Amino acid sequence: MNIREQNKKIMLEKKVWAVIGASPNVDKFGYKVWRKLQEHGYEAYPVNPRYEEIEGEKCYKSLKDIPNKPDVIDFVIPASAILEWLPEAKEVGIDYLWCQPGAANEEVVLKAEELGFNIAYNVCVLAELGE
């Protein structure tokens, strides 16, 4: 089992997640990933500065605002935007990053590893939890 597979397995056992890029649009992956995590018993916090709430739940503008520190961040945003979130993720003390397919690029992976994060990328929560 390679390190990416190990990271993926460890992350799926963690129960508190932040979904950066969560959306109230039920057709978007930001919504589907957040909802799927909840349906599988995860404590999943939607994070998106553009929304106040999603389906009646508070949507957080930053990781610092989340009341229960996430174990894992799931990124459902473009790679260029992920880089902007890494300093805050480090500051909050999050160790695990999950990048949905297409979210990460080589720059994101290298920067995340350089900062000491454990990262899984090009893996889909929906597929892992059974779409």
- Residue by residue, pLDDT tens for the chain (131 residues) are 777 788 899 999 999 999 999 999 999 999 999 999 999 999 999 999 999 999 999 999 999 999 999 999 999 999 999 999 999 999 999 999 999 998 999 999 999 999 999 999 989 999 999 85
Range of the domain at 59: 3-128
Specify which residues 47 forms β-bridges with: 20, 60
User: What pLDDT, on the 0 to 100 scale, is given for residue 27?
Assistant: 97
Which residues lie closer than 8 Å to 131 by C-beta, 6 or more apart? 36
User: What pLDDT, on the 0 to 100 scale, is given for residue 4?
Assistant: 74
What's CA 11's distance to the chain center, in Å?
10
What's CA 43's distance to the chain center, in Å?
12
User: What pLDDT, on the 0 to 100 scale, is given for residue 131?
Assistant: 59
User: What pLDDT, on the 0 to 100 scale, is given for residue 98?
Assistant: 96
What is d(CA 104, CA 122) in angstroms, rounded to the nearest whole number? 7
What is d(CA 69, CA 73) in angstroms, rounded to the nearest whole number? 10
Instruction: Provide the CATH number for the domain around residue 45.
Output: 3.40.50.720
98-109 residues labelled b (16+ CB within 10 A) or e (exposed): bbbeebbeeebb
Position 9: which residue type?
K
Specify which residues 46 forms β-bridges with: 19
User: What pLDDT, on the 0 to 100 scale, is given for residue 83?
Assistant: 96
> Considering its fold, how many domains does the chain have in total?
1
